[in-house]
Amino acid sequence: MSGKMAIKSLLFLVQILLLVLPSYAGFYDKGTEVINLTPKTFNKEVAQTNYTTIVEFYAEWCGHCKNLRPQYVKAAQNLNGIAKVAAVRCDDKANEPLCSKYQVKGYPTLKIFRPNPKTPGKPMMENYQGERKAKSIVDTVLGRIANRVKRLRAIDLDSWFQETDLPYVLLFTNKAATPPMYKTLAIDFASTANFGIIKNSEKVAVEKYKVSKYPTLIVFHFDNGEWIKEQYGGSQKKEALYEFVGRFAMPVEGPDAGKVPMHASKLIHEEL
């Protein structure tokens, strides 16, 4: 073989390897939104959270798991920031305790976990029996998100504003149902802000707060001895809303969990 040919076949080999390699990077690699769980991380990611999580128990050799993979990756993309999509690889010895604890008998097994308000740290669990398609997974998970958003009428507002000294987040909507993304936002700020939703048909409130489009989000926060109204004008993307509410209240979950807000509002005021 000439030197030139040897180099050519070497390059060819490298090309083949590059084509093949990604499948060795793991079933759900870092490029996806799917969280890979281990016995070490399971509790923190699934049990110690108020988010809803779907967990797939799978084995890498399993054909149905391979078929589900692109749909599951897509579901994780669509639920990003709204609910968690996770996976446990059961043909990895280290994960066996988890797979036996949850009595996984076939692959893939999908289970939905969500917080039980009566038993913190011990979530409710349900088997997902729906279609193994992204849309059906997404719709089912969205329907299992805890709702901490208070539905209000105009006449309820005055008493609602008396409930706590924490910031109030109020969404004016023209939709019948509370958007799942808004429910998750309320979970992000559980115990640090009050969340309410009010319909466009509540004319007295709409006029009082001069709301002219839907959705409109308003935060009321206490600063320098008075309540200040801040109307949100940004995009309806979860990260943007999270960042905005995070200026007035400390998130307890999500990427900025524990971050002290720019307007520390009442907390500081009370110390003065």
Ligand X SMILES: *[C@@H]1O[C@H](CO)[C@@H](O)[C@H](O)[C@H]1NC(C)=O
Interacting residues with ligand X (CB under 6 A): 48-50, 190-191, 252-253
The smaller minimum CB distance to ligand X, of residues 49 and 53, is found at 49
- Cβ 187 to ligand X shortest distance, Å: 7
Contact between 83 and 137 (Cβ < 8 Å): no
- Cβ 234 to ligand X shortest distance, Å: 24
- Cβ 93 to ligand X shortest distance, Å: 30
- Cβ 86 to ligand X shortest distance, Å: 16
Length of the chain: 272
- Cβ 264 to ligand X shortest distance, Å: 19
Q: State the Cα–Cα distance between residues 256 and 250, nearest whole angstrom.
A: 8
Q: State the Cα–Cα distance between residues 249 and 185, nearest whole angstrom.
A: 12
161-166, long-range: CB < 8 A, 24+ apart: 161/220, 161/227, 163/194, 164/194, 165/222, 165/266, 165/270, 166/192, 166/193, 166/194, 166/249, 166/266
- Cβ 18 to ligand X shortest distance, Å: 42
DSSP secondary structure string for all residues of 223-259: ETTEEEEEE--S-S-HHHHHHHHTTTS--SSSTTTTP
The smaller minimum CB distance to ligand X, of residues 190 and 264, is found at 190
Give the three-state DSSP class for 91: coil
The smaller minimum CB distance to ligand X, of residues 49 and 95, is found at 49
The smaller minimum CB distance to ligand X, of residues 48 and 224, is found at 48
The smaller minimum CB distance to ligand X, of residues 252 and 264, is found at 252
The smaller minimum CB distance to ligand X, of residues 108 and 246, is found at 246
The smaller minimum CB distance to ligand X, of residues 49 and 52, is found at 49
Contact between 218 and 117 (Cβ < 8 Å): no
Contact between 197 and 150 (Cβ < 8 Å): yes
Contact between 55 and 88 (Cβ < 8 Å): yes
Token code pair at residue 272: 């003065």
- The amino acid that residue 32 corresponds to is T
- Cβ 13 to ligand X shortest distance, Å: 50
